[in-house]
Amino acid sequence: MRIPSGGNRRATAVALLKSEHRRDDRIVSQRFPRDDDPKEAAGKIAIFQYLTVLVFVFLVSGFWQLQVKNPEYYSEAAERNRIKSTPLLAPRGKILDRDNRVIVDNKASYSLLLNRDQIKAEHLPAIASSLQLDYGDLAATIRRTTSRPQIIIKDELTRDEIAWIESHQDASAYPEMQLIRSWRRQYPQDGFAAHVVGYVGEIGEAELDSPQFIDYHQGDVIGKDGLERQYDKTLRGVDGQQRVLVDNLGRERQMEATQEAVPGKDLKTTLDLDLQAVGELAMEGKRGSVVAIDPRNGAVLAMVSAPSYDPNKFTGRISRKDWSQMANDPGKPLLNRAVQAQLAPGSTFKPIMAIAGLETATVDDQTTFFCPGGASFYGHYFACHLKHGHGAIQLHRAISQSCDVYFYNVGNRLGIDRIAYYADLAGIGRKTGIDLPNETQGTMPSTKWKLRVSRQKWYAGETISVAIGQGAVTVSPLQILSALSGLGAGGKWFKPHLILGETPVLLRQAHFKPENLQQVISGMYGVVNEWGTGHAAQLPNVKVAGKTGTAQVAATEKTKGAKLHSALANNAWFVGFAPSENPEIAVVALFENGEESYNAVPIVRDVLKAYFDKKERERNHITRIEKPFRAPELLAWAPVPGGATQ
């Protein structure tokens, strides 16, 4: 209140104060008629005041809920509003061979992304039909990947599809669509090296649940098989993100931040594309496998499994039809036979029998058995593959001519558990530990094994079949290759591996008597060079050793389910290594239902030849370097058409 200064004003103020004191009485008693007394509304005014308090408490509580109780929810919602984030997909690492030649590459392409919070159900049929997607599949994908704010629904868009998306992704049409750059995995054509390389695909529900894949999210692309799976963490990069500030119409206002994608690391493998190509060509139209390793360190030079499949079909989102067709193919194209087949090794098992016999002094090089074409043990007749028999036979010729009767006798003398000891040493019945998924273990029977598996004791008669690699013995091609090449390397078994530069891992070392080992290897040399069963593997200038095998299928359970016409024909095996002393390369060929082992021999020969030709070529190239440069021929080996097996 302003303080009045003049005398007049002071009088006024006093009058005012007095009048205020007296006001109530005067108003009520003198001035107003009864029904114009505002005092009677006092109670109603009080109600109005309470109501006002209530309204304000109600409003403040509304703000309390939104602003104080869970502000994160709304600040995140505001962020989602204003930030448009575009994933920058990281390219997967390339897969290279030992000479840095590219096996698996990436191709830049465009993919279509849907932003989940903008998806409208009524848009989906139109999007699906414009992009030739199955509406049911699309809806299922969207339902399945609920934890992802953005879903890639189509890769490798065509020019027309890109044009359609660009003209429809504005706010008025289908604002949920977003075009992004992506990478498509590019595999060799025609299933070349498909099994060892593997393929990528969207991560599955079961995988997401396992703790192994804790870092992965719904919709992630992940290696599904082969090296792609084994080295997924190396190959996959880290996706980046571009964050752009947008307004309510989706117009970009300014760049917020860009987190660059980190490409995955390249994988330099021990594979040699030249050898791989030879193996692939040799196996064309057949079922089986070819594996080449370096026995000095376990490096895998080539790995072929036939029939093959085209991994390029698996890269995007494979249609259910293609998948079931592939999975139900009786030829089992998805199976990597090199490490997953479990078949009787047949006579390729004999070198193991030989070293077991020699080391246990059960036989020596002079021990002679007579082969009339078969023999009886425990009341059963066991035939030799040579009907008219080998006659009197000793170890060296028993190996080179693959006499069954000789090894029946060795087996009978050894007994199953001593055989099992040496076979186990060579790695039969064990995983080799190769860096590929789903390797099988195979089987090496023993008394303990039988007790464990069928709770029965071992019958001595069963040993006779095992002695020639039949019966319960099963191996994968890689296993038998590793076992025999380990003998060739002087009783050293290295872990097979696929990454170049990896320190070799010595799995087991046997301290065999050198002369015993020498006798076995010389027998295997005889197989190739002394008109033995594998003479077709002979190479000029290189001493090749090896062992053939013709394994009966009928006795094994493995292929009974497959209703193939030739399903009961014998499997042809050949394991070879060269040079026979200190081998640099060992190769196995499995030709399923190949009838006779000599059908497998040329396959190995081709690979060995390619290896030594290439070595020769490289040496010549180095010595020729002073001369005018001439581009080396890409492949010096002469590609033998499908009938390489003569």
Partner 1 sequence: MAVHRSIRDLDWMLLGVTLALCALGVLQIYSATLSTKWEDAWWKQIIWVVSGLGMMWLASNIDYHVLLGRVMYFYLAAVGLLITTAVAGNKVFGSTRWIRVAGFTLQTSEFVKIVLILLVAKYLTEFKSGGVLSWKDLAKLGGLVGFPMLLVMKQPDLGTSLTYIPILIAGVLMSGLPWKYLAIIGTVLVVSLPIGYHFLKPYQKDRLVSFVYPDRDPKGTGFQVIQSRIAVGNGGMWGRGTKDSSQTHLGFLPVPHTDFIFSSFAEEHGFVGVVIALVLYFLLIMQVVQNAQTSTDKAGLYICMGVAALLLFHVLVNVGMVVGKMPITGIPLPLMSSGGSSTWSIFLMLGLVNGVRLRRFVN
Q: Residue numbers of the site for partner 1 (CB under 8 A)?
A: 1-2, 12, 16, 19-20, 23, 26-27, 31-32, 35-38, 40-42, 44-45, 48-49, 51-53, 55-56, 58-60, 62-68, 70-71, 73-75, 77-79, 81-82, 118, 120, 245-249, 253
Q: Measured from the CB of residue 299, what is the shortest distance to partner 1 in angstroms? A: 57
Nearest to 414 by CA among 473, 343, 368, 352: 352
**Shortest CB 27 distance to partner 1, Å:** 6
Q: What's the min distance (Å) between Cβ of 77 and partner 1? A: 5
Report the C-alpha gap between 626 and 111 in whole angstroms: 51
Residue 533: CB atoms within 10 Å? 26
DSSP-assigned beta bridge partners for residue 302: 292
Nearer to partner 1, 162 or 246 (CB): 246
Tell me whether residue 59 or residue 257 sits nearer to partner 1 (CB atom): 59
CB of 61 to partner 1, least distance (A): 9
Distance from C-alpha of 319 to C-alpha of 314, rounded to nearest angstrom: 9
Strands 200-202 and 177-186: unpaired
DSSP state of 496: P
Strands (E), 543-620: 545-551, 571-578, 585-591
Q: Where are the alpha helices (DSSP H) in 415-501?
A: 416-426, 447-454, 460-467, 477-488
Nearer residue to partner 1 within complex by CB, 120 or 619: 120
Nearer to partner 1, 26 or 233 (CB): 26
Q: How far is the CB of 82 from partner 1 (least distance, A)?
A: 4
Give CA–CA dist 484/192, Å, rounded.
27
Closest CA to 94 of 202, 183, 191: 183
Backbone phi and psi for residue 264, each to the nearest 5 degrees, phi listed first:
-70, 160
Which structure tokens are listed for 247?
């307004």
Residue 152 CB, shortest distance to partner 1, in Å, is 22
Q: Specify the residue, 64 or 459, whose C-beta has the smaller distance to partner 1.
A: 64
First to last CA, the chain: 122
Q: How far is the CB of 145 from partner 1 (least distance, A)?
A: 20
Q: ω before 307 within 30° of 0 (cis)?
A: yes
Rounded CA separation 572/412 (Å): 25
State the minimum distance, in angstroms, from the CB of residue 136 to partner 1: 25
Is residue 290 a contact partner of residue 603, using CB atoms and an 8 Å limit? yes
- Cα distances from 18 to residues 25, 26, 179, 642, in angstroms, run 12, 12, 83, 126
Q: What are phi and psi of 196, to 5 degrees?
A: -75, -35
- Shortest separation between residue 50's beta carbon and partner 1, angstroms: 11
Q: Which is nearer to partner 1, 175 or 579 (CB)?
A: 175
d(CA 592, CA 553): 9
CB of 52 to partner 1, least distance (A): 6
For partner 1, give the closer residue by CB, 81 or 158. Answer: 81
CB of 119 to partner 1, least distance (A): 11
Q: Which is nearer to partner 1, 118 or 360 (CB)?
A: 118
SS3 329: coil
Nearer to partner 1, 118 or 441 (CB): 118
Q: Which is nearer to partner 1, 32 or 378 (CB)?
A: 32
Q: Which is nearer to partner 1, 118 or 518 (CB)?
A: 118
Sign of the four-CA dihedral 123, 127, 133, 138 = negative
Residue number with CB closer to partner 1 (82 or 317): 82
Report, in Å, the least distance between residue 128 CB and partner 1: 20
Residue 619, Ramachandran bin (φ over 0: left; ψ between -120 and 50: alpha; else beta) = alpha
Q: What is the DSSP letter of 133?
A: -
Dist. CA 247–CA 603, nearest whole Å = 66
Helices (H), strands (E): how many in the chain?
A: 23, 21
Smallest separation, CB 340 to partner 1 (Å): 51
Nearer to partner 1, 9 or 448 (CB): 9
**E-state strands within 168-250:** 177-186, 200-202, 221-223, 240-246
Give the residue with the Cβ less far from partner 1, 83 or 179: 83
Under 8 Å between Cβ of 216 and 204: no
Query: Is there a contact between 179 and 162 (Cβ–Cβ < 8 Å)?
Result: yes
The rounded distance, in Å, linking the Cα atoms of 243 and 82 is 10
Q: Give min distance, CB of 195 to partner 1, in A.
A: 49
